[in-house]
Amino acid sequence: MAAFLMAVYFRGMDVDETAALTKALVNSGEKVDLTAVPGVKIDKHSTGGVGDKTTLVLVPLVASAGVTVAKMSGRALGHTGGTADKLESIPGFKTEMPLNEFVEIVSKVGAALIGQSKELVPGDKKLYALRDVTATVDSIPLIASSVMSKKIAAGCDAVVLDVKVGSGAFMKDIEEARKLASLMVNLGSFFGMPTTAVLSKMDQPLGFAVGNALEVKEAISTLKGEGPEDLVELCIELGAHMLRLSGDKRDLLDIKIDLEKNFLKTGRALDKFREIVSAQGGDPTVLEDLDKLPKAEHISCVYSEKDGYVAEIDAEKIGTAAMILGAGRIKKEQPIDHSAGLIIKKKLGDKVQGGEVLVEMHSNKKETFLRAGELINTAFKIKEFKPHMPSTIIETVTQQ
């Protein structure tokens, strides 16, 4: 098997070969049966980033607009966060449940958010463990088959992929990201699952919060219509594509305007999130009283050493700093501190003066501040002139 992985890493695989591997992975375990749930069921997947709380906003937003969303999410690993860990910051929230209970909640509420089921694609877990020790993790066909096998086994009718590009993403290079997006879209088509991929920037953390409870707070603020611009832009973009895949024939721009104006700003998406939290055993009063979320005992700040503009933020270093503070894990079995993390006080293009706060660190372990702070310092580049600020959205890849 190791020899096979090495061969794929060096020689690659075409779409048919990648589809054959994907099919084998899907067939290695159970498949979620959502046929009893009426309507088109849509899934969403992110290739992973820093401060990526998109799912927490997007799922209730799209569900409030009448689209059924059945979402299985991963956990934090390395510098990237995991949605299941973020949700578990909410007191009582269950991310693990039998598949029949998951289907029941999807049917009743119109959406559910759980962790990856152990019954689904067990072959992928074994393959990934081997990829890890044979240095074949970053092979595009192997990434594509891993992602799409999980999406196909999860039983939805269509999927929107958020393919991150930049310093905080798995794919640092736009050409490589395009190749991955295109292959995953083609695999979706091969299996009769319409797939759209959106390439989005991950050259800085998304929003301001990085870390589980801190990101839940920011997601709730966003659902109250008070979210960071980049997070709102991405959620509306992905949401519009999810509605299109569900059969909405309107122009994409019209869907985007409708989603923001009539669902995000009116509180309908927030109401749907409250429903999801209640259905999954969580405390819905958290949405009104954010102090019920875990809070770290200690806070420390990282200050700018000079005047200028924020020209660069290495998102991977920021993600690693959050992990050092306790918000992430290096190995899958490690526990995490839901209260730990950081708040970015200055984003790309912001004017900054020497002595101003760049980042606020939150941790229950004071001894982590020095190491995390040093890393954050090297992540920020302050320059004399304001940099060009491109959109968070790069492009969309659809079936040709």
DSSP 147-177: HHHHHHHTT-SEEEEEEEESTTSSB-SHHHH
Residue 5: the pLDDT is 95
Dihedral-angle region of residue 317 (phi above 0 means left; psi in -120 to 50 means alpha; beta otherwise)? alpha
HSE of 24 in the Cβ direction (CA atoms, 13 Å)? Answer: 13
Structural domain boundaries, residue 64: 2-288
Cβ-contact 391, 232 below 8 angstroms: no
Length of the chain, in residues: 400
For the chain, count helices (H), then strands (E). Answer: 14, 13
Dihedral-angle region of residue 66 (phi above 0 means left; psi in -120 to 50 means alpha; beta otherwise)? left
Query: Does one domain contain both 69 and 132?
Result: yes
The catalytic residue among 44, 53, 150, 217 is: 150
Query: Does one domain contain both 79 and 218?
Result: yes
How many domains are contained in the chain? 2
Residue 399 forms part of a structural domain: no
Residue 390 forms part of a structural domain: no
Place of tokens 């024939």: 249
Q: Angle 81-82-86 (CA atoms, 0-180°, nearest 5)? A: 100
Query: What is the side-by-side order of every strand in the sheet holding 209-210?
Result: 209-210, 341-344, 357-363, 298-303
Q: Angle 43-173-397 (CA atoms, 0-180°, nearest 5)? A: 40
Joined tokens for residue 16? 């048919």
Dihedral-angle region of residue 368 (phi above 0 means left; psi in -120 to 50 means alpha; beta otherwise)? alpha
Query: Does one domain contain both 303 and 172?
Result: no
Query: Does one domain contain both 219 and 124?
Result: yes
Q: How far is it, in rounded angstroms, from Cα 287 to Cα 3?
A: 51
Residue 393 forms part of a structural domain: no
The catalytic residue among 41, 45, 71, 272 is: 45
DSSP 209-241: EESHHHHHHHHHHHHTT---HHHHHHHHHHHHH
Q: Where is the domain boundary, 288, 321, 355?
A: 288
Query: Does one domain contain both 325 and 182?
Result: no
Measure the N-to-C terminal CA separation of the chain; round to a whole number of Å. 33
Residue 397 forms part of a structural domain: no
Residue 396 forms part of a structural domain: no
Neighbouring CB atoms inside 10 A of 89's CB total 22
Q: Clarify whether 124 is annotated catalytic.
A: yes
Query: Does one domain contain both 266 and 313?
Result: no
Query: Does one domain contain both 274 and 245?
Result: yes
The catalytic residue among 146, 167, 200, 246 is: 146
Query: Does one domain contain both 63 and 209?
Result: yes
Q: Clarify whether 150 is annotated catalytic.
A: yes
Q: Clarify whether 298 is annotated catalytic.
A: no
Query: Does one domain contain both 331 and 209?
Result: no
pLDDT (tens, 9 = 90+) of the chain, 400 residues, equals 999 999 999 999 999 999 999 999 999 999 999 999 999 999 999 999 999 999 999 999 999 999 999 999 888 777 888 899 999 999 999 999 999 999 999 999 999 999 888 889 999 989 988 888 898 888 999 999 999 999 999 999 999 999 999 999 989 999 999 999 999 999 999 999 999 999 999 999 999 999 999 999 999 999 999 999 999 999 999 999 999 999 999 999 999 999 999 999 999 999 999 999 999 999 999 999 999 999 999 999 999 999 999 999 999 999 999 999 999 887 777 889 999 999 999 999 999 999 999 999 999 999 999 999 999 999 999 999 999 988 999 999 998 6
The catalytic residue among 85, 124, 162, 314 is: 124
Query: Does one domain contain both 124 and 165?
Result: yes
User: Residue 75: which CATH number?
Assistant: 3.40.1030.10
Q: How far is it, in rounded angstroms, from Cα 362 to Cα 384?
A: 30
HSE of 196 in the Cβ direction (CA atoms, 13 Å)? Answer: 17
Q: Where is the domain boundary, 253, 270, 288?
A: 288
Neighbouring CB atoms inside 10 A of 27's CB total 12
Joined tokens for residue 336? 């995490």
| AA identity, residue 75 | R
